[in-house]
Amino acid sequence: MESSEREDYLEAVLVRQLAAQPPPSAKDIAEDLHQGEDTVSANLKSLENQGDLVFNEKRAIILTGQGHSIAERVLKKHRVLQCFLGEILGMDDNAASDEACILEHSISDTAISRIGNYVNKAGSRRSSHWGNTPCYKSMTKNNPKPHNQVSIPGSHPASPISTCSSLIDAMESVPLTVMGITGGDHLHRLIDLGIIPGEVVILRRRLHNNAVVLQVKECDIALSPEIAGTILVENME
Amino acid sequence: MKIGLIGNPNVGKSLIFNQLTGLGVEVSNYPGTTVGLEKGHVCYQREKFEVCDLPGIYSLDGDSDEEKLVNGMLERHELDLVIAILDAVHLERTLYLFLQVAEYGLPLLVVLNMVDEAEKFGISVDSSELSKILGCPVIMTAAIHGRGTDQILPSALSSACPASLTVDYDHHIEAAVRSIMGNFPVSRPAALLTLEGIGADQEILDTSAAIASEIENRHKMSPRQIISANRHHFAEQIADRVITVRQKKTGFDLDRLLTKGIPGIPIMAAILIGILLLVFMIGSRLEGIIVAFFNTYLVQPLLTLGLPPLLQQVSISVLLGLQAGIGIAFPFIFTFYIFISLLEDSGYMTRAAFLADQAMHRVGLHGQAIIPMILGFGCTVPAVMSLRLLASRRERFIASFLVTMIPCSARTVIIAGVVATFVGIWWALSIYLIVFILIVITGLFLSRITPGERFGMIMEMAPLRAPQAANVVKKSWRKISEFLTIAMPLLIISSIILGLLQYYGIINAFQNFIAPFSTMVLGLPAYATTALMFGILRKEMALGALVVLAGTPALNTVMTQVQLYTWAIISVLFVPCISTIAVLYRQVGLKTVVLVTTYTVILGLAIGAGIHLAFP
């Protein structure tokens, strides 16, 4: 089984999982990937042997930590590429998605992260997506906690390419890119202080009630929890 | 010629203003110290210039009073010359406001302040390159050490000119601005503001709103967001070109301790309680010395003079008024202000606000509200004035109740002078406890019933600095001299009126009138209730009046301990003093003042009656 095929399978499972559907069966995946059920079953079996997924008692597919992180990485690449091809290069949505399906398997992490940064900058600096276009959402959607994840001894989940979340859930002391503010225009003080999409900020402190101190443009800004919660950020690493 | 100082909060405008004009404007290390417009005059080469210290703002496109004030002055070209003050440590952030100010086309001088702090962080700014980019002169200062500030006026007068740079806005924004300016007689900055929905002329606003929604549809972001993103980006590019950072800041970061839940909150509690205890102790010690001095050297000799009764009454009243001011209020208030100035100048206030955010949420407020609360322990008047730091009407409404209830130093005088002296120190502290519980209950209640938007805290943390002894003393002195000039005449006059009322027997008449209520409901002698009325003028006057009316400073000989305790707690809660009422009226309006006053009167009397019921 080729690595691109493996990635496609795992991605398909993750997409179903993110859509908050019940764990998919081999039949569901066959449908999604437009392949024969027998081929799919055989391939899933070999993925199970590789430790990417397990079947539960109802024969439904559940990703392991390893499988989840591979799937997440590919899905992220897919979204970045689709966004880049569609919104920046102006390709038709379906064509962009199909093209992204091909490119996502071979593109390097460096290239994808640069494209991701470019798309973000274009979003914040020049025009287009400030925070609520479909493309923006698909790129920065909150990574849901991998529910149903089964940890298998000996497999260590690789860290995902990015973790996008509200400021409240972000990590302290690492550079974060502001992705958007959901609070609307009344938070113009945030804009004045430089908290705008594309800006790189550092979470200096978070109290247990989620009040935070954010370092923006070398200044420390204290924010109440309800304000911190409206700021979406992405881990840059 | 009119010169305006414009800059972000906390970049040192007031300090520079003081050095330019020689006036004493309050300087603090937290954003928003300057309330309105401070004006001063300065003579240079036999010409007189008017200098205005404008309130610190982050941008001109907000809707706060400060932003509107500055924007209005620029728009109407009321200033002939603008001194834009930038912070060398936070150059990029402060350039954001500058870019907006520069659009008004007024002659500019850029003052790059805090170069000393920037040096400490290893940041150096190429001022000649900056001047070239901005197209106007730039001078470097370290105002806190007085370095370079003597250059400000000469450079401003000789070489200030309008900035030559322009921000590259998105071309749709540029097109919109051209179209608005083509149709209406407005300036470019005003046209930009109308795109953001700010302006006075409804016709222009309507036109701009139509264009703005078109832009918003196309860009999926509002013109305000596009414009500010363009400015931030531009500021970032400028900053990148002129700043070189030699080494990253290293060394111990005190904020690791101060802004963490543990040990930050215990540290905050220790600092605040420590200040209260120290003020209590130092204050009572000083008070004892000064009061004894007055008695031995002034009051006693006067009594032996054998003056005619009326004259004696008046002169004793004058002395008692002086004694109340200098002997009682001064030691407490001055000591308190010294500590508060230390807190203000060190930048600790903003840390306290951050840590207090959670607790303040419970009572419907936000972290910033701790600043008025802390100031309230000194004097309620400046505390009420600082209510404007709070973002929403709702918060100002709630806070005006709570701040008025905080025991100010005049009330500390009563607690110390009556309860601590005659009942016991722990009983004195129990009054604080009761008041705090009442404040919390009031806050919980008001936060449930007060309508209005809840607005979170967005507050810049002031950098931590070692307070300068000279500034601390100067500031405390300025505050206390304000107190002495405003309060002393009032104290002396009201003391005389009190003396005369007593002399002519009017007080006796009032006492007879109030006596049934006083003894039945509160369990107090009539003269004690009468004395409470004088607390309306100034809180500590209630104590002075009680001593005069009781006829002896040894209050425990004429009243029981329960009576003294009841009396003290009523006077602490009961009616804010007249100056507080006046300043509340200015800050939050008549309705709130009436509510606050009624509430405190009812609360005070209810607690007093409650104690009388429990311990008849």
pLDDT class for A134, splitting at 50, 70, 90? Answer: very low
- The answer for residues whose C-beta is within 8 angstroms of residue B447's C-beta and 6 or more apart is B362, B363, B364, B365, B398
pLDDT score at A183 = 64
Indicate if the pLDDT at residue A130 is higher than 50.
no
Tell me the average pLDDT of chain B.
86
- Tell me: the pLDDT tens digits for B585-597? 888 889 999 999 9
pLDDT class for A135, splitting at 50, 70, 90? Answer: very low
Both structure tokens of A177:
């890119």
Segment B207-235 shows an average pLDDT of 88
Looking at beta carbons, which residues of chain A come within 8 Å of B357? 207, 209, 211, 222, 224-225
Looking at beta carbons, which residues of chain A come within 8 Å of B7? none
The full DSSP string for B195-212 is HTT--S-HHHHHHHHHHH
- Tell me: the pLDDT tens digits for A72-87? 888 888 888 888 887 7
Looking at beta carbons, which residues of chain B come within 8 Å of A213? 255, 259, 354, 461
Segment B392-404 shows an average pLDDT of 90
pLDDT score at B504 = 87
pLDDT class for A133, splitting at 50, 70, 90? Answer: very low
Label the pairing between strands A61-63 and A53-55. antiparallel
Collapsing DSSP to helix, strand or coil, A91 comes out as coil
pLDDT class for A1, splitting at 50, 70, 90? Answer: confident
Both structure tokens of A154:
């000996």
Q: Which residue has the higher pLDDT, B348 or A155?
A: B348
Looking at beta carbons, which residues of chain A come within 8 Å of B260? 205, 207
Indicate if the pLDDT at residue B473 is higher than 80.
yes
pLDDT score at B100 = 94
Closest partner residue to A218 (CB to CB) among B90, B229, B456 is: B90
- Tell me how far the alpha carbon of residue B609 is from its chain's centroid: 35
Q: Touching check for B392 and chain A: CB below 8 Å?
A: no
Looking at beta carbons, which residues of chain A come within 8 Å of B350? 222
pLDDT score at B579 = 77
Q: Touching check for A227 and chain B: CB below 8 Å?
A: yes
Burial class (CB in 10 A: 0-12, 13-18, 19+), A146: buried
Both structure tokens of B319:
């002395």
Percentage with pLDDT > 70 across chain B: 96
Contact B123, B243 (CB under 8 A): yes
Contact A231, A178 (CB under 8 A): yes
Looking at beta carbons, which residues of chain A come within 8 Å of B92? 194, 217-218
Label the pairing between strands B2-7 and B81-87. parallel
Closest partner residue to A211 (CB to CB) among B170, B221, B354 is: B354
Looking at beta carbons, which residues of chain A come within 8 Å of B230? 125
Indicate if the pLDDT at residue A148 is higher than 50.
no
Residue of A nearest to B62 (CA): A188
Q: How far is B584 from chain A (nearest CA, A)?
A: 27
Looking at beta carbons, which residues of chain B come within 8 Å of A180? none
pLDDT class for B360, splitting at 50, 70, 90? Answer: confident
pLDDT score at B243 = 92
Indicate if the pLDDT at residue B548 is higher than 70.
yes
Q: How far is A77 from chain B (nearest CA, A)?
A: 24
- B229 with A204: Cβ contact below 8 A: no
Q: Touching check for A108 and chain B: CB below 8 Å?
A: no
Least reliable range by pLDDT among A163-177, A208-222, B165-179, B440-454: A163-177
Residue window 480-499, chain B: list those with CB within 8 Å of chain A.
none
pLDDT score at B131 = 94
- B220 with A130: Cβ contact below 8 A: yes
Would you put residue B122 in left (φ > 0), alpha (ψ -120 to 50) or beta? left
- Tell me: the pLDDT tens digits for A14-51? 888 777 677 888 888 888 888 888 888 888 888 888 88
Q: Touching check for A189 and chain B: CB below 8 Å?
A: yes
Distance CA B210, CA B195 (A): 9
Closest partner residue to B459 (CB to CB) among A127, A216, A222 is: A222
Q: How far is A237 from chain B (nearest CA, A)?
A: 21
Q: How many CB pairs under 8 A join A and B?
A: 130
Indicate if the pLDDT at residue B484 is higher than 70.
yes
Segment B300-312 shows an average pLDDT of 85
Looking at beta carbons, which residues of chain B come within 8 Å of A222? 350, 353-354, 357, 367, 457-461
Distance CA B562, CA B570 (A): 12
pLDDT score at B611 = 92
Residue of B nearest to A133 (CA): B220
Contact B332, B322 (CB under 8 A): no
pLDDT score at A111 = 84
- A224 with B259: Cβ contact below 8 A: no
pLDDT score at A123 = 55
**Of B162, B159, B188, whose CA–CA distance to B176 is shortest?**
B188
Q: How far is A156 from chain B (nearest CA, A)?
A: 32
Indicate if the pLDDT at residue A141 is higher than 80.
no
Closest partner residue to A222 (CB to CB) among B59, B454, B461 is: B461
Indicate if the pLDDT at residue B403 is higher than 90.
yes
The pair phi, psi for residue A142, each rounded to 5°, is -55, 125
Contact B12, B147 (CB under 8 A): no
Q: How far is A218 from chain B (nearest CA, A)?
A: 6
Closest partner residue to B225 (CB to CB) among A191, A209, A221 is: A191
Q: Residue B222 gets which letter from DSSP? A: -
Distance CA B553, CA B439 (A): 31
Indicate if the pLDDT at residue B91 is higher than 90.
yes
| Amino acid residing at B444 | L
H or E element in which residue A214 lies: strand A212-216
The full DSSP string for B137-161 is -EEE-BGGGTBSGGGHHHHHHHH-B
Indicate if the pLDDT at residue B285 is higher than 80.
yes
Q: How many residues does chain B have?
A: 616
Closest partner residue to B224 (CB to CB) among A188, A193, A194 is: A188
- The answer for residues whose C-beta is within 8 angstroms of residue B13's C-beta and 6 or more apart is B5, B6, B7, B34, B53, B54, B56, B85
Looking at beta carbons, which residues of chain A come within 8 Å of B58? 189, 192-193
Q: Touching check for B255 and chain A: CB below 8 Å?
A: yes
Tell me the average pLDDT of chain A.
76
Alpha carbons within 13 angstroms on the beta-carbon side of residue B425 total 4
Indicate if the pLDDT at residue A128 is higher than 60.
no
Looking at beta carbons, which residues of chain B come within 8 Å of A189? 58, 62, 458
pLDDT score at A163 = 52
Largest CA distance in chain A: 60
When scoring A192, A203, A227 by the number of chain B Cβ atoms within 10 A, the one with the most, hence best to mutate, is: A192
Closest partner residue to B456 (CB to CB) among A185, A194, A227 is: A227
pLDDT class for B199, splitting at 50, 70, 90? Answer: confident
Residue window 114-133, chain A: list those with CB within 8 Å of chain B.
124-133
Q: Touching check for A88 and chain B: CB below 8 Å?
A: no
pLDDT score at B35 = 53
Looking at beta carbons, which residues of chain A come within 8 Å of B220? 128-130, 132-133
Q: Touching check for B216 and chain A: CB below 8 Å?
A: no
Indicate if the pLDDT at residue A150 is higher than 70.
no
Closest partner residue to B232 (CB to CB) among A126, A128, A194 is: A194
Least reliable range by pLDDT among A135-144, A173-182, B489-498: A135-144
Closest partner residue to B220 (CB to CB) among A133, A224, A226 is: A133
pLDDT score at B439 = 94
Q: How far is B577 from chain A (nearest CA, A)?
A: 34
pLDDT class for A129, splitting at 50, 70, 90? Answer: very low
- B458 with A217: Cβ contact below 8 A: no
Contact A6, A59 (CB under 8 A): no
Indicate if the pLDDT at residue A216 is higher than 50.
yes
**Of B54, B12, B55, whose CA–CA distance to B32 is shortest?**
B55
- A222 with B366: Cβ contact below 8 A: no
Looking at beta carbons, which residues of chain B come within 8 Å of A194? 92-93, 96, 232
Segment A143-148 shows an average pLDDT of 35
Q: Touching check for A223 and chain B: CB below 8 Å?
A: yes
Q: Touching check for B215 and chain A: CB below 8 Å?
A: no
- Tell me: the pLDDT tens digits for B6-22? 999 888 888 888 888 87
Q: How far is A66 from chain B (nearest CA, A)?
A: 36
Indicate if the pLDDT at residue A161 is higher than 80.
no
Segment B337-346 shows an average pLDDT of 87
Burial class (CB in 10 A: 0-12, 13-18, 19+), B342: middle
Contact B392, B526 (CB under 8 A): no
Looking at beta carbons, which residues of chain B come within 8 Å of A220? 255, 460-461
pLDDT score at B98 = 95
